[in-house]
């Protein structure tokens, strides 16, 4: 064999090697991708998955910073008028051009009946098309966070949607399946080539994507695997490249196994305890004629009776960050100003006896058992800790379907003491203030997820100011003020930011975003 043939053979080998390297990336998640209509369900996994095929005017990077996507740039030309300059030369997967018409159409559709994302664009905002690639949003008042949730407000093709009779948003009350629920046509880095709900979804690389392609996979296969043990086994056996979430107790096993590693990091979700502070008598307690939670001392006693480090170490196996405020420290610049009340059962007992409950009391606690990481175990730990200061907890842990039916507005806020988690969809504090901390009526008008129903007019006033304050520094000051009131009064007992745990094969590099969204454009498989 002479040199020439040797080189030729080597080249040939290299050539076939590259050709055979059509990389397929397989992963599993605990839930399923139910439908492909981007406006049907405001839920992290659905939006995360569809965000690989669809794109918004903006997107968020690996560090969650807002980046331009379908809009190249934008500016506030008048206080109430935002101008978006759209990217030119972008095509949908079916070859149609992306224009201002599509943006106007998507805004109408996302605000129409049946959409679960109606709040993405304010109801009274108007869209004005300036030219094919310029759009104005005209608001009725200043709104500093207009585009904060637009990374998950996906732009659809007007022509495609109209042609396929899918202008109406897929709703659960429909009797015939909507075309957009079974097919997708976005501008994103991946096309959805097949989708069988609850079984398998296959994505293929979009070669005509407008941005530089940094990933190296050609096909992505998604399988929903609801059972934890099966999901972990599928990763350990090497059949899958990535599974999430993984149970915290399996992290060590995955790390010990050759070829897999557990990727952990903080999630934006804050887990906290809330108390009924609205009713004059608790629904589930042996204290009659009054509501102990209306007494700030009792709330602080509960707060200080909880050994947060023990929950972090024992229950969460260190996959949690104790928290002093109701939002992730990543999302609020002044979060370092806050500190938890120290764990001090003696002081808790003292506070309780000052409040007139020296012998303690009994209270019922509601807890989900399939919603957050080790949710039921956290509640059990809390119950055991409170028992040490003579508070007896009747724990009622149930699946999320039953839990939500009981504690949310539709169940009449039927709870005295509960555990809940919250991630602000806009990644901004105003969402927390308006959903969790403002006053509400008995029916839930106002702040619907303030399940305990406490009402502090100062927080209400600040919430209103935060909504329209444009200056970032001033705005953060107002937010800090509101959080401080909540902290000083112990309206809530924040516990921790729960952690994310993904199981990944060693030969795969990817980005674990703190909002638990999984973006295929960051994948590199070696």
Q: Footprint of another protein on this chain (CB under 8 A)?
A: 32, 34-35, 37, 40-43, 113, 116-119, 170-178, 181-182, 196-200, 223, 225-227, 229-230, 233-234, 236-239, 370, 399-402, 404-405, 408-411, 425, 431, 435, 443-445, 448-449
Q: Which is nearer to another protein, 227 or 255 (CB)?
A: 227
Cα distances from 323 to residues 337, 432, 453, in angstroms, run: 12, 15, 22
In the complex, the smallest distance separating the C-beta of residue 248 from another protein, rounded to whole angstroms, is 19
Q: Give the residue with the Cβ less far from another protein, 147 or 257.
A: 257
By C-beta, is 180 or 416 nearer to another protein?
180
Strand partners, 270: 422, 497
Please report how close the Cβ of residue 50 comes to another protein at its closest, in angstroms: 13
Tokens describing residue 452: 């305990």
Q: Is the peptide bond before 476 cis (omega within 30 degrees of 0)?
A: no
Q: Which CB contacts under 8 angstroms, 24+ apart, belong to 198-205?
A: 198/32, 198/34, 198/224, 199/223, 199/224, 201/33, 201/49, 203/52, 203/53, 203/520
CB of 157 to another protein, least distance (A): 20
Decide whether 171 or 353 has the Cβ nearer to another protein. 171
How many whole angstroms separate alpha carbon 180 and alpha carbon 466?
37
Q: Quote the CA–CA distance of 405 and 101 in Å, as a whole number.
A: 41
Residue closer to another protein, measured from CB, 127 or 182: 182
Give least dist CB 223 to another protein, A. 6
Tell me how far, at minimum, the Cβ of 161 lies from another protein, in Å: 16
* The token pair that represents 448 in the structure block: 């619907």
Specify the residue, 40 or 512, whose C-beta has the smaller distance to another protein.
40
CA distances to 333, 339, 359 from 324, rounded to whole Å, are 14, 5, 28
Smallest gap from residue 94 Cβ to another protein (A): 22
Q: Rounded to the nearest 5°, which phi and psi values hold at 78?
A: -130, 160
Q: Where would I find the beta strands (DSSP E) of 215-304?
A: 219-224, 242-244, 260-275
Q: Which is nearer to another protein, 16 or 227 (CB)?
A: 227
**What number of other Cβ atoms are within 10 A of residue 98's Cβ?**
24
Assign 390 to helix, strand or coil: coil
Q: How far is the CB of 360 from another protein (least distance, A)?
A: 32
The least distance separating another protein from the CB of residue 202, rounded to whole angstroms, comes to 13
Whole-number minimum distance, CB 213 to another protein, in Å?
A: 28
> Is the separation of the CB atoms in 106 and 155 below 8 Å?
yes
Provide the strand spans (E) within 429-515. 492-505, 508-509
Question: In sequence order, what are the beta bridge partners of 25?
Answer: 220
- Nearer to another protein among residue 61 and residue 399 (C-beta): 399
> Given the complex with another protein, which of 223 and 486 has the nearer CB atom?
223
CB 508 within 8 A of CB 24: no
DSSP 97: B
């Amino acid at each position: 064999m002479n040199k020439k043939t040797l080189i030729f053979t080597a080249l040939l080998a290299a050539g076939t090697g590259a050709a055979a390297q059509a990389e397929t990336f397989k992963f599993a998640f605990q839930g399923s991708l139910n439908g492909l209509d981007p406006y049907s369900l405001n839920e992290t996994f659905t939006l995360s998955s569809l965000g690989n095929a669809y794109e918004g005017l903006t997107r968020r990077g690996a560090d969650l910073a807002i980046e331009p996507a379908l809009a190249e740039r934008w500016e506030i030309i008048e206080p109430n008028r935002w101008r978006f300059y759209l990217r030119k030369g972008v095509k949908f997967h079916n070859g149609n051009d992306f224009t201002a018409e599509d943006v106007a159409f998507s805004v109408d559709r996302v605000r129409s009946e049946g959409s679960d994302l109606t709040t993405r664009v304010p109801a009274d905002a108007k869209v004005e098309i300036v030219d094919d690639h310029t759009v104005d949003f005209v608001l009725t008042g200043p709104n500093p966070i207009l585009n904060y949730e637009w990374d998950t407000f996906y732009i659809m093709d007007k022509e495609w949607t109209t042609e396929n009779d899918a202008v109406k948003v897929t709703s659960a009350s429909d009797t015939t399946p909507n075309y957009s629920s079974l097919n997708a046509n976005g501008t994103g880095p991946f096309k959805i080539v097949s989708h069988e709900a609850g079984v398998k979804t296959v994505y293929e690389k979009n070669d005509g994507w407008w941005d530089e392609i940094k990933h190296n996979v050609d096909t992505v296969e998604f399988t929903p695997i609801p059972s934890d043990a099966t999901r972990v086994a599928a990763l350990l056996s090497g059949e899958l490249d990535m599974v999430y979430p993984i149970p915290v107790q399996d992290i060590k096993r995955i790390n010990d196994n050759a070829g897999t590693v557990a990727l952990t990091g903080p999630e934006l979700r804050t887990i906290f305890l809330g108390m009924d502070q609205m009713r004059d008598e608790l629904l589930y307690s042996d204290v009659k004629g009054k509501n102990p939670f209306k007494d700030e001392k009792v709330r602080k006693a509960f707060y200080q009776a909880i050994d947060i480090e023990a929950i972090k170490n024992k229950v969460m196996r260190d996959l949690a960050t104790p928290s002093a405020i109701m939002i992730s420290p990543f999302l609020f610049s002044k979060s370092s100003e806050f500190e938890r009340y120290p764990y001090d059962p003696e002081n808790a007992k003292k506070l309780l006896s000052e409040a007139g409950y020296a012998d303690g009391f009994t209270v019922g606690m509601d807890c989900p058992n399939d919603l957050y990481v080790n949710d039921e175990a956290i509640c059990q730990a809390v119950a055991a800790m409170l028992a040490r200061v003579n508070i007896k907890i009747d724990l009622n842990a149930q699946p999320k379907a039953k839990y939500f039916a009981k504690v949310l507005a539709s169940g009449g806020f039927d709870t005295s003491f509960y555990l809940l988690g919250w991630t602000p969809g806009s990644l901004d504090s105003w969402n927390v203030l308006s959903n969790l901390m403002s006053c509400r009526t008995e029916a839930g008008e106002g702040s619907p997820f303030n399940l305990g129903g406490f009402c502090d007019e100062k927080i209400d006033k600040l919430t209103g100011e935060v909504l329209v304050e444009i200056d970032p520094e001033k705005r953060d000051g107002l937010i800090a003020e509101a959080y401080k009131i909540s902290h000083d009064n112990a309206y809530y007992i924040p516990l921790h930011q729960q952690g994310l745990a993904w199981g990944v094969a060693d030969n795969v590099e990817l980005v674990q975003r703190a909002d638990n969204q999984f973006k295929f454009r960051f994948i590199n498989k070696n």
